[in-house]
Amino acid sequence: MRYTGPILDAHHHLWDLKLEKHPWLVPQPGRRKVFGDPTPLYRDYLPDDLERDAAGLHLVGSVHIEASWDRSDPVGETRWIAGLKQRHRLPTVAVVRAPLDDPGVGAILEAQRAFDFVRGVRFILSWHEDPEKRFVERADYMTDSRWLAGFALLREFGLSFDMLIYPGQLGDAADLADRFPDTTIIVNHAGSPVDRDAVAMDHWRRGLKELAKRPNVRLKISDLCAYDHDWTLESLRPVVLDCLDAFGLGRAMFASDFPVAGLHAGYAQMYDAFADIVQDLTAEEQRALFHDNAVRDYRIDKTDSRP
């Protein structure tokens, strides 16, 4: 039976461009990103926009993921989210930014952890051999001693790590998970299968299965259309099923990545696709993917879980 129950959106972003805190959201004519033309993103995206996009779905909670706010003021984004939470129902919890490669990151993590809704940290790691696909200029963060020292502090502060990488980095991710078995790592966007030829997809599948052997790793099945702009239900289906084959039904979760995913799909359209793909699973299994696993992994205590 097709899923119609509660949804915990485990990955979305919010921003207010008037704050001038997001350098990547400054319009540049002719600029393109791996996820497409970013021009439609050059607008505010606030809780009311998320609620409007999700109208008609049973969205009961959400996780705000840091949106590349000014690196020099990472706690500023968290303060801003705290203000939004005072006035809006969403977001429920947040994953924040922290410069793990900075020797002074401990003080920043302490300041971030002072907010009771902070659950984890994201430090973008996506490096690709193609410069046009890179989000960072270094490929070696996961083996750099200074960065690893910062990562080690996550356990001390009780924080998980949201990981944005490309398939070529899945091996380093597995080594990192082995090195820090007590830190939960939540891989974003299914490991970003950006190269779609048969050889590249096989490499992605094998890397995902190897990474999944680490019990402290989770997988977000989110924004698949970022790497499949002309997607159809049948093009998404094998990717979703490969993710579930690797991580199982207990360590995967669906999420939106709105508003970025909105470049190629409507909010309800995307969740409808997820529901169509897994409709043969039991009601309990579907609820785990759409809600329960995210509630557990982001340690959400008070979410409306009515069916």
Task: Please tell me the distance from the alpha carbon of residue 56 to that of residue 146, in angstroms, as a whole number.
Answer: 46
Residue 103 CB-density burial (10 A; 0-12 exposed, 13-18 middle, 19+ buried)? exposed
Averaged over successive runs of 10 residues, the pLDDT of the chain (307 residues) comes to 96 98 88 85 97 98 98 97 98 98 98 98 97 94 98 98 98 98 98 97 98 98 94 97 98 98 97 98 98 98 53
DSSP state of 27: -
Q: Using only C-alpha atoms, what is the Rg of the chain?
A: 18
Query: Whole-model pTM?
Result: 0.96
CA–CA dist 211, 242 (Å, integer): 13
Q: What pLDDT score does 28 carry?
A: 80
Could you tell me if 151 and 141 are in contact, meaning their C-beta atoms sit under 8 angstroms apart?
no
**Residue 102: closest CA among 94, 93, 111:** 111
Domains and CATH numbers, the chain: 28-297 (3.20.20.140)
Strands 252-255 and 118-122 turn out to be unpaired
Q: What does DSSP say about strands 252-255 and 59-65: parallel, antiparallel, or unpaired?
A: unpaired
- The DSSP secondary-structure symbol of 33 reads B
Residue type, 286: Q
One-letter identity of residue 224? L
Per-residue model confidence (pLDDT) at position 101: 97
Per-residue pLDDT at 29: 77
Q: Encoding tokens for residue 37?
A: 């033309």
Which candidate, 231, 303, 266, places its Cα nearest to that of 56?
266
- Determine how β-strand 7-12 pairs with β-strand 93-97: unpaired
Contact 85, 125 (CB under 8 A): no
Contact 66, 97 (CB under 8 A): yes
Q: Give the pLDDT confidence score for residue 302 in this predicted structure.
A: 60
Inter-residue contact 142 to 117 (CB < 8 Å): no
**For helices 198-211 and 170-179, what crossing angle results, to 10°?**
0
Both structure tokens of 84:
């939004």
